[in-house]
Amino acid sequence: MRKQLCDALVNRAQRPDMVFLTGDLGFMALEPLQQALGKRFINAGVAEQNMVSVSAAMARQGLEAWVYSIAPFCYARPFEQIRNDITFHGLPVRLIGNGGGYGYGVMGPTHHAIEDYGVLLTLPNLKAYVPVFDEDVGDVIQSAGESPMAVYLRLGRGEPPRGFAVPAYAPWRQLTNGGGVPVIAVGPLAGTYIDAIQELPKASRPNLWALAELPLSQNPPPLALMAQVAAHGAVCVAEEHVERGSFAAEFALYLLREGTNARLHHLYARAHHYPRYGSQTYLRKASGLDPGSLLNAIDSMQRL
Amino acid sequence: MLDANRLTDIRKRLIRMHYESGVGHIGGNLSAIDALAVMFNEHMTANDRFVLSKGHSAGALYVALWSAGRLTDADLTTFHKDATLLAGHPPASGIDGILFATGSLGHGLSLAAGTALALSLKGEEGHVYCLTSDGEWQEGSTWEALIFACHHGLSNLTILIDHNRLQGFGSTADVASMAPLWERLAGFDVDMQIIDGHDPAAIRTALHASVAKPRLIVLETVKGKGISFMENRMEWHYLPLNDETYRQAIDDLAQR
């Protein structure tokens, strides 16, 4: 999604108040943005804490500040700066974390971001975007750019099956239809399930929903989804995020508050460390987030 | 221009505020109050910004703002009380002259540098002042900010260091010595001055000097300055005043 990100930001670069700060990342990706912004493109160096506080101060002076780094360096290292300097002041800084989830796969656990939106959404005045497809990025950047509050954008890699007609961006999108249980997948993971689900008979085919914006308080589930959950008395949630602080945990609370009686099956990122390293696909499988694991989970849910 | 009597009155008001609220952090307020009083009363313009990086000296900042007519006496009576704007560390909003909630050390210089760069990018007038503690230079992020400020040549930024040589649980020399601190700082492309942080004339001169790069003023100060039993005593980082120590403190100040 980095190319789409760069294109979308270049489109905004005419705004005189826009500034972009990077933690020394973006080689072979962000050069067009650097050219478009000139001195408003600031390589803040390998100093993420300073970069985030600087961005807060710039937002406080009315500038439209964007901050970019590899996902864990964007939120974990400077967490206190995000908390104190950005969110405590309600400042609309846009934080972009590239390679969320297991996006940096074989690079190792220091580069994984599987607790990012859970950690950040404990803070006030912050919203998270997890674009599902590459095509979403332009709309997400526009929405994030207009946000009156801080934004965290978990950037990944769109993975729709070949030939899939990506629907127009929306915070919630239903990607498959059938008579099976509803499945909610957060971000690009949704695209990886489409083929496997489409191969199931229509009568038992799950209704796959892609979720791209958090938290639920700012993006409540659509009525159609809630009707499916109520009808089946069950829902499956898949996300490349640890269980604690997950979307599923928030959704479970939502179901309880709404008085919806449903079983919730959760597929989630199991660990930062595995006995062996591997790609994002490898690590998803190790966590039981691959399409085969989803089908097994659905099968067991529909047998109950 | 502030004279010695006025500075003493400002100190008395600071002491009274702490006594009435029953809270500490007095020592570091007394080391910082002279520079803050000179800046807010004589030097800063409406276009200028200030960031208190050593947020635990909020009391000194509130009293400096009071001395410049930007907070009222009634405001100061709410210090540290329920429903106050005048918390133990600066609030995120609600007080003209306070841009950021600080209190976790190592944030303020980055906030000041970001503000200075933003003003520069916008082509706006105004100078940014940031007061750090000396112990705060043990925070890596403060050095990140200094590197950033120097790299961008932020000539609209003045960094002041309250160099009172005492921190939370010992002296800066005993805890994590960088002594002499100015030698560590001298390697950076800043205009550095080392002055008596309790001499208003020296503070004025240092603030007025015109420089083409970030300005760094090391304020040689005394923790607890002006009150004999507090001076250079680490415990006055924390202790509140009781009736007896308050009376002694006021007597000390009356003899200045």
Whether residue B114 and residue A84 make contact (CB cut-off 8 A), yes or no, is no
Class at the top of the CATH hierarchy for domain A2-155: alpha beta
d(CA B250, CA A237): 66
Whether residue A56 and residue B114 make contact (CB cut-off 8 A), yes or no, is yes
User: Which of the 8 DSSP states describes residue B153?
Assistant: T
Same fold, A2-155 and A172-303: yes
State whether residue A85 sits within 8 Å of chain B by CB: yes
Sign of CA dihedral B48, B53, B55, B56: negative
Q: What is the mean pLDDT of chain A?
A: 96
Tell me how far the alpha carbon of residue A299 is from its chain's centroid: 27
- Taking only the tens of pLDDT, chain B with its 256 residues reads 999 999 999 999 999 999 999 998 899 999 999 999 999 999 999 999 999 999 999 999 999 999 999 999 999 999 999 999 999 999 999 999 999 999 999 999 999 999 999 999 999 999 999 999 999 999 999 999 999 999 999 999 999 999 999 999 999 999 999 999 999 999 999 999 999 999 999 999 999 988 899 999 999 999 999 999 999 998 988 899 999 999 999 999 998 7
Q: Nearest CA to CA, how far is A59 from chain B (Å)?
A: 9
Q: Where are the alpha helices (DSSP H) in B84-230?
A: 108-122, 140-151, 172-176, 181-185, 200-208
For residue A88, name the pLDDT band (cuts at 50, 70, 90): very high
CATH no. of A172-303: 3.40.50.920
Lowest mean pLDDT among A43-52, A237-246, B188-197, B204-213: B204-213
d(CA A116, CA B141): 22
Q: Nearest CA to CA, how far is A153 from chain B (Å)?
A: 22
Q: What is the pLDDT of residue A73?
A: 97
Residue A89: list chain B partners with CB under 8 A.
92-93, 100-101
Token representation of residue A259: 């008085």
How large is the average pLDDT for residues A275-294?
96
State whether residue A39 sits within 8 Å of chain B by CB: yes
Whether residue A55 and residue B114 make contact (CB cut-off 8 A), yes or no, is yes
Q: What is the pLDDT of residue A275?
A: 87
d(CA A32, CA A152): 22
Q: What is the pLDDT of residue A100?
A: 95
Residue B151: list chain A partners with CB under 8 A.
45
Q: Report the complex ipTM.
A: 0.95
State whether residue A61 sits within 8 Å of chain B by CB: yes
Looking only at the bridges linking them, the beta strands covering A150-155 and B166-167 are unpaired
Residue range A126-143, pLDDT digits in tens: 999 999 999 999 999 999
How large is the average pLDDT for residues A95-124?
96
- Proportion of chain A above pLDDT 90, given as a percent: 97
Q: What is the pLDDT of residue A33?
A: 98
Q: What is the pLDDT of residue B237?
A: 84
Q: Are residues A142 and A10 in contact, defined by beta-carbon separation less than 8 angstroms?
A: no
pLDDT above 90: residue A279: yes
Buried b (16+ CB within 10 A) or exposed e, A116-147: bbbbbbebeebbbbbbbbbbbbbbbbebbbeb
How large is the average pLDDT for residues A16-32?
96
Whether residue B107 and residue A81 make contact (CB cut-off 8 A), yes or no, is yes
What are the residue boundaries of the structural domains of chain A, listed by start? 2-155, 172-303
Best mutation target, B89, B121, B125, to test chain A (most A CBs within 10 A): B121
Domains of chain B in start order, with CATH, are: 4-254 (3.40.50.970)
Which residues lie closer than 8 Å to A58 by C-beta, 6 or more apart?
A19, A65, B114, B115, B117, B118, B121
